[in-house]
Amino acid sequence: MARHADFGAPTGRYGLGRARVPGCFLAAPVPGAAPDAEGSLLLDLLIEDGRFAWIAPAGALSQTDAPVIDLEGRQLWATLLDVHTHLDKGQVIPRAVPDGTLEGGARGTIEDRRFWTPDDIAQRMRFGLKCAHAHGVSMIRTHLDSLEELAPTSFAVFRQLRTEWAGRVDLQAVGLVPLAAFRGDWGHRLADLVLESGGVLGGVTDALGVYQGAIDEEMDRLLDAFLLAAADRGLDVDIHVDQTEALDPFALPRIAAAVKRTRFKGRVLCGHCVSLALQPDDVARDAIARAVDAGLDFVTLPTPMIYLQDRKPGRTPRWRGVTLAQELLDAGLKVAVAGDNCRDAWFPFGDHDMVDTLHHAVRIFHLDAPFSRALAMAGPMASDVVGAGHHGRITAGAPADFIALSARTLNEAMCRPQADRIVVRGGRRLTDGLPDYAELDTLVGMVA
Ligand SMILES: [Zn+2]
C-alpha cells in the first residue's frame, strides 16, 4: 500500500484507506463511524471517475479490489473556500508601500489604480488564483472596486478569469461601492452590471472617510435603496461593515433593521464588524439579537485586521481588531473566516492560503476547543454564506476534491504550516506548485 509521502497520481478507480476526516466536512453522517476526541472520523473512501463513489467506516475497502492509498489515520479535509478577498488590488508589493493604517490602505489603493490596465489586473488576479489553487482553495469570492470608471474593465477581466478558472477555483464577484453610490444612478447601473455578470451587490458602511454624509437616517435611506436595487434583480448582497474602532455610527443594527424594513429575501453577508467587539456588552447583545432576527451572515478577516486595527506610532496595539466570532456563533449565526487583502496597499502579507488563515483564526479568536468550529468557518459554513454547494464538503457523488495532510490530529495540523499537504482535484493530484514571485516583477517594479 502507498503511504502519504509517496501519494502518487492515481486515476480511475481507487480507494483512500484510513483517512481521518473532521466531522464538519462530511455532508451526511457515516453510519457506524464514531468520532474521536477532536470530532474526526476514521473512514475509507472510494473514488471513481473523479468523484467520491462512497464513504464508509475504515475497513470497508477490504471488500473491494480497488487499489488503495493507506493514509494511516492522517487528516483528510475538503478543499477550502476564501469568501472575502480583493484579487483586483492584490500582488502590488513593492509597487505599493503600505504604512499599516486603514487610511494609508485607502490612499495607497487609489494611487495604485493608475496602473490598473486590463492586463495588469488580469495578471495579478491570475497570480493570486495560482496561489489559492496550489494551497487547496477551490472557491473564491472577490470584491471588485466598482467606481464608475473602473467597474466595466474589472468585471470584464473577472468574467474572463471566471471562465478560465472554472473547475479549478470557482469564482464569484462583488461589485463594491460606498453606499453613497445609491444616491445617484451609478449604484443602480452597477447593479445591472452585477446582474449581467452573475455577481453580488456590495456596499461599504464603514468609517473610512467614505460615508460621504451617509450616516443616521441618510444611511437608512441608502441601505433601503441598496437592498431594493439588489432585490429588484434577485441579487445577494455583501457589505463591508464597521471596519474601524469608532463606536458611532454603528451600521450593523441599521443593516438588520433595513433588511427587515425592506423584507429583503436574498443572502446578506456582513464583513468585518470589528467595532462590535468594542461596544458595551448590552449594545453588542442587542445588535447580535437583531442580526439573528434579520438572518444576517458574517465573515471575519482576522489577519489584515490584527495588522491594521489599533495601530498608532510607537504604541503596541491593545485590542485584536476582530469581531465577536464566538458570540455570533453561539447565537446560531453563520460566521465564515476569510483572507481579505493579500500583498496590497492595505496588507502586505498573505498567500491566499486558508490553512494559514485558520492557524491565525484559531489563535486570535480562541477557537481551539473544539477545533472543528474553526474548520467549518473555512469549509461548510463559508460555503453556505456564499451558496457554493459542494465546496468545503466531502460528499458521495461530488467531485473528489480534498487536501491530504501529513498531520494525524487537528492539533498536529494546527502546529505546522502543512507545506507538505497534497491537494487532489477531481481525484487527481495537483502538481502545479506555487507561482514564482518573479512572474510579477515587471508589473510591480521589482528589481531582482
Ligand atoms: Zn475587504
Q: Supply the Cα-derived Rg of the chain in whole angstroms.
A: 22
pLDDT given for residue 369 in this prediction:
85
Residues, CB-to-ion distance under 5 Å, ligand 1: 340
Q: What domains are defined for the chain?
A: 4-78+394-429 (2.30.40.10), 80-386 (3.20.20.140)
Task: Give the distance (Å) from ligand 1 centre to CA of residue 272.
Answer: 8
Task: Give the distance (Å) from ligand 1 centre to CA of residue 144.
Answer: 10
Task: Give the distance (Å) from ligand 1 centre to CA of residue 143.
Answer: 7
pLDDT digits over 363-372, tens only?
A: 999 999 888 8
Question: Span 186-209, mean pLDDT?
Answer: 90
Q: Take residue 31 and report the three cell numbers written for it.
A: 453510519
Q: What is the pLDDT confidence band of residue 210, given thresholds at 50, 70 and 90?
A: low
pLDDT digits over 319-339, tens only?
A: 999 999 999 999 999 999 999
Question: How far lies 62's CA from each of 12, 54, 66, 194, 408, in Å?
Answer: 18, 14, 9, 51, 22
Task: Give the distance (Å) from ligand 1 centre to CA of residue 204.
Answer: 9
Tell me which amino acid residue 347 is.
F
pLDDT given for residue 71 in this prediction:
97
Task: Give the distance (Å) from ligand 1 centre to CA of residue 155.
Answer: 17
Task: Give the distance (Å) from ligand 1 centre to CA of residue 41.
Answer: 35
Question: Span 276-291, mean pLDDT?
Answer: 98
Task: Give the distance (Å) from ligand 1 centre to CA of residue 145.
Answer: 10
- Closest alpha carbon to 210 in 253, 245, 179, 252: 179
352: left (phi over 0), alpha (psi -120 to 50) or beta: left
3-class secondary structure per residue, the chain: CECHHHCCCCCCCEEEEEEEEEHHHECCCCCCCCCCCCCEEEEEEEEECCEEEEEEECCHHHHCCCCEEECCCCEEEECEEEEEECCCCCCCCCCCCCCCCHHHHHHHHHHHHHHCCHHHHHHHHHHHHHHHHHHCEEEEEEEEECCCCCHHHHHHHHHHHHHHHCCCCEEEEEEEEEHHHHCCCHHHHHHHHHHHCCCEEEEEECCCCCCCCCCHHHHHHHHHHHHHHHHHCCCCEEEEECCCCCCCCCHHHHHHHHHHHHCCCCCEEEEECHHHHCCCHHHHHHHHHHHHHHCCEEEECHHHHHHHCCCECCECCCCCCCCCHHHHHHCCCCEEECCECCCCCCCCCCCCCHHHHHHHHHHHHCCCCCHHHHHHHHCHHHHHHHCCCCCCCECCCCECCEEECCCCCHHHHHHCCCCCCEEEECCEECCCCCCCHHHHHHHHCCCC
Task: Give the distance (Å) from ligand 1 centre to CA of residue 179.
Answer: 15
Task: Give the distance (Å) from ligand 1 centre to CA of residue 403.
Answer: 26
Q: What is the pLDDT confidence band of residue 211, given thresholds at 50, 70 and 90?
A: low
Task: Give the distance (Å) from ligand 1 centre to CA of residue 40.
Answer: 32
Q: What is the pLDDT confidence band of residue 162, given thresholds at 50, 70 and 90?
A: very high
pLDDT given for residue 5 in this prediction:
44
Question: Span 345-374, mean pLDDT?
Answer: 96
Does the pLDDT at position 97 exceed 90? Answer: yes
Task: Give the distance (Å) from ligand 1 centre to CA of residue 425.
Answer: 28
Question: Span 47-51, mean pLDDT?
Answer: 96
Q: What is the pLDDT confidence band of residue 2, given thresholds at 50, 70 and 90?
A: very low
Q: What is the pLDDT confidence band of residue 1, given thresholds at 50, 70 and 90?
A: very low
Task: Give the distance (Å) from ligand 1 centre to CA of residue 239.
Answer: 9
- Closest alpha carbon to 84 in 271, 343, 322: 271
Task: Give the distance (Å) from ligand 1 centre to CA of residue 434.
Answer: 24
Does the pLDDT at position 25 exceed 50? Answer: yes
- Whole-prediction pTM: 0.96
Task: Give the distance (Å) from ligand 1 centre to CA of residue 394.
Answer: 28
Task: Give the distance (Å) from ligand 1 centre to CA of residue 106.
Answer: 11
Q: What is the pLDDT confidence band of residue 121, given thresholds at 50, 70 and 90?
A: very high
Task: Give the distance (Å) from ligand 1 centre to CA of residue 148.
Answer: 19
- Closest alpha carbon to 309 in 367, 253, 364: 364
Task: Give the distance (Å) from ligand 1 centre to CA of residue 187.
Answer: 19
The average confidence (pLDDT) of the chain is: 95
Task: Give the distance (Å) from ligand 1 centre to CA of residue 203.
Answer: 11
Task: Give the distance (Å) from ligand 1 centre to CA of residue 47.
Answer: 37
Question: Span 409-432, mean pLDDT?
Answer: 96
Q: Report the percentage of the chain scoring pLDDT > 70.
A: 96
Task: Give the distance (Å) from ligand 1 centre to CA of residue 244.
Answer: 13
pLDDT digits over 225-252, tens only?
A: 999 999 999 999 999 999 999 898 899 9
Does the pLDDT at position 3 exceed 90? Answer: no
CA-CA distance, 412 to 75, in Å (whole number)?
9
Task: Give the distance (Å) from ligand 1 centre to CA of residue 78.
Answer: 24
Task: Give the distance (Å) from ligand 1 centre to CA of residue 89.
Answer: 10
Task: Give the distance (Å) from ligand 1 centre to CA of residue 161.
Answer: 20
Task: Give the distance (Å) from ligand 1 centre to CA of residue 250.
Answer: 18
pLDDT given for residue 10 in this prediction:
59
Q: What is the pLDDT confidence band of residue 379, given thresholds at 50, 70 and 90?
A: very high
